[in-house]
Amino acid sequence: MLPFISIIIPCRNEEKYIGKCLESITLQDYPKEKMEVFVINGASEDKTGKIIQDYARKYPYIKILENPKRYTPFGLNIGLKEAKGEVIARMDSHAGYEKDYVSKCVKHLLESGADNVGGVIKTLPARDTISAKAVALVLSHPFGAAGSYFRIGSKEPKYVDTVFGGCYKRDVFDKIGFFNEKLLRSQDIEFNQRLKNAGGKIFLAPEIKAIYYPQPDFSRFLKHNFFDGVWTIYPLKFGVKIFSWRHLIPLLFVLTLLICGILGVFLPLFSNLFFLILKIYFLASVIFSLQIAFKEKNIKLFFFLPIAFASRHFGYGLGSLYALIKIYKK
């Protein structure tokens, strides 16, 4: 009596990760006759397409769809239009999944009465380097991930604002529509916000586990956070507000430093305040970095973690500021 589930995986240029993702799906303990997997290829320019084709030939429940518009919301909606399942699971190509991921998602979806269910992610280094380890650890720490429970974990199940991926009842999409194609990022946050506004519930179950591989170096991590910051604020241009207080902290931090830095040229009080804020931030970063380095028994991390924290906070904040400027200019 298990429901038929449609798994939707948008991807583009994911040759390093799509194989791990699909392999973990083939190992799921959910009955394969109750499952279809749509991998939506966003005009990849690497070996992603070939890897997907190899899996599709081997496993008939894996199917390939093309997304000529490349970006995630278009891919998600292409998959939704083809999906036949009573349950829809949105999965990330940059991740791997425990063998009971799907079965536990369905179990909690049926038992909790929620409209969307998800779990927690274990963030692992994408490479065997100190910088990659630092990035992964920063995304798993409250100082780096704020109140994002699917990143930092939760000791007990709880209702939340959003989850990683998401396993939805099909009728949710019939009621509130598909993903917003104007939002090249953050479309899942906006969708879950729409779902909650319509009276829906989003449930996080810690026993549902996935593995996530973030950017392997600081330059790509900084760039990724910059665009995450952009797409936290830029949806305001379309009349969409997706952010909560925790999303605004990096923006307020960067704005405060910028204002104090400018006024500090003329007024010593603001110059002193500028350096005081930087000192407090640096001290907090050093303390957390030292704690993490000791916990991981790797003192080398102490010298890399502050860079990763700064890439996270300043990248996100500058991206949000850039979005504000862009909205104002237009």
Share of the chain above pLDDT 70, in %: 100
* H-run or E-run covering 239: none
Does residue 330 register a pLDDT over 70?
no
**Domain check: are 51 and 167 in the same one?**
yes
Query: Which residues touch 237 (CB under 8 Å, ≥6 apart)?
Result: 326, 327, 330
User: What pLDDT score was predicted for residue 44?
Assistant: 96
**Domain check: are 198 and 230 in the same one?**
no
User: Domain end: 167, 186, 216, which one?
Assistant: 216
pLDDT in tens, 93-149: 999 999 999 999 999 999 999 999 999 999 999 999 999 999 999 999 999 987 788
**Domain check: are 125 and 211 in the same one?**
yes
Between residues 6 and 165, the one the model is more confident about: 6
The neighbour count for residue 306, using CB atoms within 10 Å, is 19
User: Domain end: 216, 244, 261, which one?
Assistant: 216
The neighbour count for residue 96, using CB atoms within 10 Å, is 23
**Domain check: are 210 and 256 in the same one?**
no
**Domain check: are 175 and 228 in the same one?**
no
> What would the mean pLDDT of 165-187 be, rounded to a whole number?
95
User: What pLDDT score was predicted for residue 146?
Assistant: 78
**Domain check: are 239 and 201 in the same one?**
no
Mean pLDDT is lowest, of 52-61, 189-198, 238-247, 307-316, for: 238-247
> What would the mean pLDDT of 56-77 be, rounded to a whole number?
97
**Domain check: are 165 and 268 in the same one?**
no
User: What pLDDT score was predicted for residue 155?
Assistant: 86
**Domain check: are 188 and 267 in the same one?**
no
**Domain check: are 35 and 106 in the same one?**
yes
83, 110 Cβ separation under 8 angstroms: no
**Domain check: are 255 and 172 in the same one?**
no
Sign of CA dihedral 310, 312, 313, 318: positive
**Domain check: are 207 and 233 in the same one?**
no
Q: Which of 85, 127, 122, 289 is nearest to 208 (CA)?
A: 122
pLDDT in tens, 260-305: 999 999 999 999 999 999 999 999 999 999 999 999 999 999 999 9
Q: Which two tokens stand for residue 29?
A: 């303990």
Q: Which domain holds residue 207?
A: 5-216
**Domain check: are 202 and 55 in the same one?**
yes
